[in-house]
Amino acid sequence: MSTITAPAAETLTVLGRMGEHDHEEVLFCHDRATGLKAIIAVHDTTLGPALGGTRMWPYATEAEALNDVLRLSRGMTYKSALAGLDLGGGKAVIIGDARTQKTEALFRRFGRFVDSLNGRYITAEDVGMSTTEMVNIRKETKYVAGLPEEMGGSGDPSPVTAYGVFCGIKAAAKTAYGADRLSGRKVAVQGAGNVGRHLVGHLIKDGATVYLTDIHDDKLAAIKAEHPAVNIVKPDAILSLDVDIYSPCALGAVVNNDTLRTMKCSVIAGAANNQLADESVHGPALMEKGILYAPDFLINAGGIINCSWERRGYDRKAAMAQTENIYNTALAIFKRSQEEKIPTYLAANQAAEQRVRSMRQAGLRF
């Protein structure tokens, strides 16, 4: 087990990237025996230890993985701050194919890297991961959340994440259309993973007409079997559908120069992290186009809320109640955006930064 030491020029580049948004620490992890290649990023620990999931994805380059983990970890700081949690922001990515490269040894090696941070970072599930991997990581470190309920954990966080996104969608509908009832609304869901699957159930139950896509046909088939009313569409067709609400629930950067030209929705609200390819460009562009954007780190906080309850004794009813408050927080952010005439992402950023800054000024740090 070893830590990758980058050449001097690369170190300057990484440190420069860290300085852009004040990241505290980035750990590069490598283990030849297991094939582990991972990056752990700790963005901010002002409010508490950095809790954030580990994502397993076959990134094309290490630079792509680094970019993702830096953006994701910053988002976790804002997510916890807006949710009122005493947690900081962190994230980890494992470079690999989650369908073919998972082994117990790999995740136990990863667990040792997590443990080396002595509690500054607590890991949990994200894309490509499950409670099975959390159990293997837990064999090497106690800094794990999202463990099975039989082990005293909160289990799979995706149902709670999906419920929070659903609450955020209803808040967006209330703001955009004057009523949060989704009956008669057309919703395009991109991503049929665990969160997407549960979200589809909530949407259909509330009367929405749902269009769904994914790159994996088996996931689509499973949801279609569970919810026959869902309409399956091809991945390249989802963004140009004439719908009321577009709900990205796969990977990020789906709102960019190319997709903005084809979008016909009036609301964007989904579970995917970092939906705006460049928030300073595409946040204002959405506002100019009259599309209400529900910041991802605002409405997909249900998972981290759920995991946070493991630290104080898991209570699912309390976790769901706290997640339901995403509706009120989202309404407040949308109102701030309208009153100050600023993009919703900026209104959410400022609210999160304000909470972190107030704790720093009071000298209250983890």
Which residues are 29's β-sheet partners?
3, 38
pLDDT of residue 9: 40
pLDDT of residue 311: 85
Identify whether the C-beta of residue 90 lies closer than 8 Å to the C-beta of residue 38: no
CB hemisphere CA count around 20 (13 angstroms): 10
pLDDT in tens, the chain (366 residues): 333 333 344 445 788 899 998 999 999 999 999 999 999 999 999 999 999 999 999 999 999 999 999 999 999 999 999 999 999 999 999 999 999 999 999 999 999 999 999 999 999 998 899 999 999 999 999 999 999 988 888 888 899 999 999 999 999 999 999 999 999 999 999 999 999 999 999 999 999 999 999 999 999 999 999 999 999 999 999 999 999 999 999 988 999 999 999 999 999 999 998 999 999 999 999 999 999 999 999 999 999 999 999 888 889 999 999 999 999 999 999 999 999 999 999 999 999 999 999 998 887 766
For residue 222, what are its two tokens?
């499973």
**What does the alpha-carbon distance between residue 184 and residue 191 come to, in Å, rounded to a whole number?**
22
Mention every residue, 6+ apart, whose C-beta is less than 8 A from residue 317. Answer: none
What's the pTM? 0.87
Q: Name the residue type at position 157.
A: P
For residue 119, what are its two tokens?
């509690």
Phi, psi of 352, deg, nearest 5? -65, -45
Q: Which of 191, 153, 149, 189 is nearest to 169 (CA)?
A: 189
Q: Considering 91, 142, 224, 317, which one is annotated as catalytic? A: 91
What angle do the packed helices 104-116 and 131-138 form, to 10 degrees?
Answer: 60
**What does the alpha-carbon distance between residue 329 and residue 348 come to, in Å, rounded to a whole number?**
9
> Beta-carbon neighbour count of residue 312 at 10 Å?
9
Q: How would you class 25 by CB atoms within 10 Å of its CB: exposed for 0-12, middle for 13-18, buried for 19 or more?
A: middle
Structural domains of the chain, with CATH: 2-151 (3.40.50.10860), 158-354 (3.40.50.720)
Q: Is 186 a catalytic residue?
A: no
